[in-house]
Structure 1
Amino acid sequence: MPRKHDVDALPRDKLLVLYQRLTLDCRKHFQADLAKELNCSPQTVSRLVDVIENHLGKDTYIDRGIEGRKRYYLLRTVSENKALGFAFEELSYLSTCRDLAAPFLTESVLARIDKSLHALALHLGETFPGLPEPTISFHSKGFIDYVPHLATISTLRIAITKRQVCRVTYTAVGRHSPTEYRYAPGHIVAMNGTLYVQGYRLGAGSLLQERPTTFSLHRIADVEPTGEFFRFDAADIGARRFGLTWHEPRKVQIHIAVTAADYVRDRVWSDDQRIDELGDGSVVLTVTTTSEKEISAWVKSFGDSARILNTSAEPGGET
């Protein structure tokens, strides 16, 4: 018979500790973590969970699932699912989303969100901490005030959902007069403290996509739905590529010196990236980009530690 993990702990001790974990901390508890904490096998954890569930009330049950190949246990109630459809863990995620969006929202909107989070916590029967200050913040040398652009954001979000063609009046960087475009908005993306809308420019009187176009949201003077609707996927976000969408996808090969190789290895730059190891410890990174300007600026930020080897268009792309 194999030796027990902990010969000093009684089964009832482990049962009580596990009961406390499941009932007092309403989040996902992974089997491997519980086994390590209780100093027992995963099979023992599973058996103890069964014992606890057999003694719970009719309104309570233990949800079992797998996340990232790891088995977890989560205490749930039938009334909770019927009333709200989510638990305190999801409420915590909403709080995190609130902190992430805070730089782009007005104080009045943030106050309404905080009030709603507290109300949801009360419905769940949980104690939800106050939010005098966000737990996540951003630091930058300058920021864009998006309060004057909330109406533009709202119009674009509706147009994206309904696939409405819009008439966009936009002033590009370095120009003093605006230009009007027929535009199919796909999605709004945040990058380096700036909001952008990505989509496709349309030809006059046409509902067919002409070319990918990205607008800086704060430089849009006006956006107005035309009453027309497009049928294609203007978001076009099936594959993650380097940079925002300014042109058709292009392959780029970059040599990265030893001093910056680990930094590059630790990150995902595009879904189809390839990293080739060289004998001297340096690497060659191959990525797909839709913004040569961005990738050129990124390479220059490494100084002498990076250089572009070559660039080629993907099939059907521009050269």
Structure 2
Amino acid sequence: MLGNLLKMWFMLLDGRVRQIKDIARELEVSERQVKRYKEELAVYVDIESITGKYGGYRLRETYIPFKGLLTEEETELLRYYIDSLDSFPLEEKDKINKIIGKINYSILNKNDNVSNFNEIIPYSTVRMMDENRKNLISDIYKAIVENREVDITYKNNNGKCTKRKVQPYKYITYKGEKYLVAYCLMREDIRYFKMIRIQCYKLLDSIFNRTIDIDNVINQEIHNSVGIFGGKEYKLVLEVSPPMANTISERIWVEDQCVEELEQGEIRFTATMKGGPEIISWILSMGDTVKVIEPLELKDEIGEKLKKMIRNL
């Protein structure tokens, strides 16, 4: 499976649309398995699904984010390995293992499950990276691999900039946006830093010890969450009418959800969900097809949000 993930990723690096059936034929797997590979890779790289007769998958950014970690020789060796998986010389295996060791925290790590939430709000595309942003990502990868602390100046959602010293653990892509998952020494907690909001940075000489199981932290965050950032928890009861009722009932949003069919195609959706603002955005995206039954505090929050929206019209 490791080899197929790498091979599919390299197949997409030329930026062309690759049909699923062609990928399946080259990898000698089923089309369903190709779709699974796509979901795994899409956690870390921006893969676009193209519909239509000649549709398939296309990599939005052909940039290799960890190229700063690999020498030219290592990059060519990795390409050679992927092209000759079945007949690779044994004497090169150790070199390949070291190369993969440099990137095993990224696209080869399957413990995220973040891809389950990639399309909750699929209404926009992400800006392409400029050279400064590419350099930032390469340096962040380097800091993760070498366990080096980083000074960053970060602009939050309200436009306020703060200086932080962080211990970088992981780099992920969520809804097409790139995030650094790091322990923030100022907040003394794990934080998700959107890469595009890092205004400036400096890799430090200080080395930190990895004392946090970051994959476990992420899995805990996304458990019963709409998104990867956790947040306020609600015991949610919604009544949803068609056509949105079909969409809601056809998908698994959280593990403990319960869908009860009502009259005239309506459903009652019950679940314990975390997410705060993302839950509100999710509910508002259903428009007039949804009625919030419980909790009352969430009804009030959505009501206040709608009043502000109407005042701003």
TM-score by length of 1: 0.50
Q: Does 1:232 align with 2:233?
A: no
Correspondence 1:180 to 2:170: no
Residues 199-214 of structure 1 mapped to structure 2, 5 A cutoff: 199-203=182-186, 209-210=188-189, 212-214=190-192
* Equivalent runs, 1:86-105 vs 2, <5 Å: 100=47, 102-105=59-62
Secondary structure of 2:219's partner?
coil
Q: Is the 8 A contact 1:198 1:245 kept in 2?
A: no
Name which structure has the greater RCO, CA cutoff 8 Å, separation 6+: 2
Write the letter of the residue equivalent to 1:102. Answer: L
SS in 2 for 1:247: coil
Q: Are 1:300 and 2:301 matched, yes or no?
A: no
Q: How far is 1:267 from its partner?
A: 1.6
Give the secondary structure class of the aligned counterpart of 1:104.
coil
Which residue number in structure 1 is paired with residue 180 of structure 2?
A: 197
1:255 matched to 2:239: yes
Higher helix share: 2
1:253 to partner: Cα distance: 3.7
Equivalent of residue 133 in structure 2, options 146, 149, 156: 149
Cα 1:215–1:124, aligned 2, differ >3 Å: closer, same or farther? same
Q: Which structure's CA Rg is the greater one? A: 1
Q: Does structure 1 conserve the Cα–Cα contact (< 8 Å) formed by 2:245 and 2:267?
A: yes
Check whether the contact 1:165–1:230 (CA below 8 A) recurs between aligned residues. Answer: no
State the Cα distance separating 1:122 from its structure 2 match.
5.4
**TM-score, structure 2 normalization:** 0.50
Number of the residue aligned with 2:196? 218
CA gap 1:253/1:191 in 2 versus in 1, 3 angstroms? farther
Give yes or no for the alignment of 1:106 onto 2:43.
Answer: no
**2:11 matches 1:27:** no
**Letter paired with 1:228:** F
Q: Once the 2 structures are TM-superposed, how far is the Cα of residue 163 of structure 1 from its aligned partner?
A: 5.6
Is there any run of 5+ residues in structure 2 with no aligned partner, and where? 1-24, 48-57, 88-121, 298-313
Q: For residues 149-170 of structure 1, give each alpha carbon's deviation from its aligned partner in whole angstroms, at most 9, with x where no partner exists.
A: 2233234334445665543320
Deviation at 1:190, TM superposition (A): 2.2
The question of whether the paired residues in 1 share the 8 Å contact of 2:46 and 2:173 is answered with no
Moved more, 290-299 or 268-277: 268-277
The CA distance in 1 between the partners of 2:269 and 2:147, in whole Å, is 37
Percentage of identical aligned residues: 18
1:284 aligns with 2:268: yes
Q: Which runs of 5+ in 1 are unaligned?
A: 1-23, 30-66, 69-88, 126-137, 314-319
Q: Is the Cα contact below 8 Å between 2:126 and 2:177 reproduced in 1?
A: no
* SS class of match (1:258): coil
